[in-house]
Homo-oligomer: A and B are copies of this chain.
Amino acid sequence: MSTRLQHELKKKQPFEVAEQAAALGLVRTNDQLQIHFSRLFRQFGLTPSQYNVLRILRGEGAPLPILEIADRTVTVVPGITGLIDRLEAAGLVKRARCDEDRRVVYVALTSKASKLLAKLDQPVVDLHKRLMGHLSRSELNELTRLLDKVRSGLPESEP
């Protein structure tokens, strides 16, 4: 796997390679991690996106408008509708129209979702440790810092 990456990098001299290598490494690493998390969530009947939405709602501790949820995930607006649809069909969230502004739809966790999240907490932490545990504390901190720095300098996404 990394042999291919090395190979690819060799072809393009020392100029733009540093940026490219970092970006490719990021994509590849993310892909690998996603495989493991997808598997874990699937064992509990969830997709990564669904888990993400539930986590956001739990973190907020109160119902949120649909578009606010879409903002906090990277989910684009149209995608959020079906996502919430399926969560509602699974009995994990409830929709409720706002009375003051009838355009707004609030989404709230059900107690079923709270219990499911609670059951997932330990396995999620365990998986994080299993996937990242071979890095030292200072390496993890440095990685986090560098990733933050990458994001901080990114051009604006909204056109």
When C-beta atoms are compared, the residue in chain B nearest to A159 turns out to be B39
Whether, in the assembled complex, A131 has its beta carbon less than 8 Å from a beta carbon of chain B, the answer is: yes
Instruction: Count A-side interface residues using an 8 Å CB cutoff.
Output: 57
A77 close to B (CB within 8 Å): no
Q: Which residues of the partner chain B approach A4 to less than 8 Å between Cβ atoms?
A: 59, 72
**Chain B residues within 8 Å of A155, by CB:** 36, 130-131
Complexed CA–CA distance, A80 and B138 (Å) = 39
Contact A22 B149 (CB under 8 A): no
Does A19 count as interface, using CB distance less than 8 angstroms? Answer: yes
Residues in A lying within 8 Å of B, measured CB to CB: 1-2, 4, 7-8, 11-12, 16, 18-23, 25-36, 59, 61, 72, 74, 125, 128-135, 137, 139-144, 146-155, 157
